[in-house]
Amino acid sequence: MDVLEKLCKAGGISGFEDEVRDIMIEEFKKVKCEVSVDKFGNVIAKKGKGKTKIMLAAHMDEVGLLVKYISKEGFLSFVKIGGIDDRVLVNKMVRVKTGDHITGNVTGVIGAKPPHLQKDKEGREVIKHEDLFIDIGARSRKEAEKLVKIGSPITFMPNYEILNKDLICGKAFDNRLGCYALIQIMKNLPKLDAEVYAVGTTQEEVGLKGARVAAFKINPDYSIAIDITLAGDTPQIKESESNLKIGKGPAITILEASGRGVVTHPAVKDILVKTAVKNKIPYQMDVLEGGMTDAAIIYMTREGIPSGVVSIPIRYTHGPVGVCNLKDMENTIKLVLKSLKYLC
């Protein structure tokens, strides 16, 4: 299993990023980084020396669920962690972490009333997540509690496949693709007159929390967040909503969430665009009406940190499976690597 597949199959909802963190630590050490973990759980890898500090960030957490209640029949009720469309939940297989020390996994199925028993109105409505349940095969609360606890984290069932040539599909592309890019960037980091910090951040999906803590500690001169963005090359999405396409290169963000997120620093944006043009790296420009990245909180830390975002376009984010083009991943890594010398 290669590193990308290992990252995507690892479980790590917000606040429970342990599996992903262990992989990141191992891989950063392999490429000769100084590695530490802060009190918030962020992994911080450092390479190089110089007057300039550059922070690269990619969040380790994924959207998922958390056990809220166990019924007397042994079924689990849950809350959503991060933004998940209720329509993608019904009949999906999930993996529930077991025990107080989160040492194993139990397979579950998200259940609902079958269509044969639904009244006309029920069949036309989206079933809300609070009306769903998870079946782990337990026959009572007592049996279920031997396996899981209230507060146990839940992820979609791990999956990772080659879809067609350069296209892959899998769980947690948001943002294990960014985590993988971060590792590869540090592996291939050129000699720079700068300290480069690669940070695997925690709890991005629930408020960009880890990035705030890490940025305050590092206090970098510049920052680039590496994340995913929304591809619009599928039916039902208008080009005016998203004209980004997988396979057409990384996206350079201008603005997130109609300005509520990061407004990319002009100097950082210019460096990214000019680097892409000079090195003939395909790229796309991204203006997001919804959604934010770690850059949205990093650039407001302390007295302000000039920040930008390079994102990998994917289809079907925040669900059980996403689709991306590996060429976009390769070009994201290349773009960030080539841009770093202009930030020193």
Phi first, then psi: what are they for 107, rounded to 5°? Answer: -80, 140
Rounded distance between C-alpha atoms, residue 46 and residue 60, angstroms = 17
**3-class SS at 300?**
coil
Residues contacting 173, CB < 8 A, separation 6+: 8, 228, 312, 314, 317, 322, 323, 324
Q: Is 19 a catalytic residue?
A: no
**3-class SS at 107?**
strand
Note if the bond before 325 is cis, omega within 30 degrees.
no
Token pair 């949205």 is found at 296
- CA-CA distances (angstroms) from residue 288 to 137, 148, 257, 267, 312? 42, 39, 5, 19, 14
* Of residues 36, 25, 49, 23, the one with CA closest to residue 213: 36
Rounded distance between C-alpha atoms, residue 7 and residue 11, angstroms = 8
The one catalytic residue in 19, 27, 195, 204 is: 204
Rounded distance between C-alpha atoms, residue 84 and residue 65, angstroms = 9
Residues contacting 100, CB < 8 A, separation 6+: 149
Q: Supply the residues annotated as catalytic.
A: 204
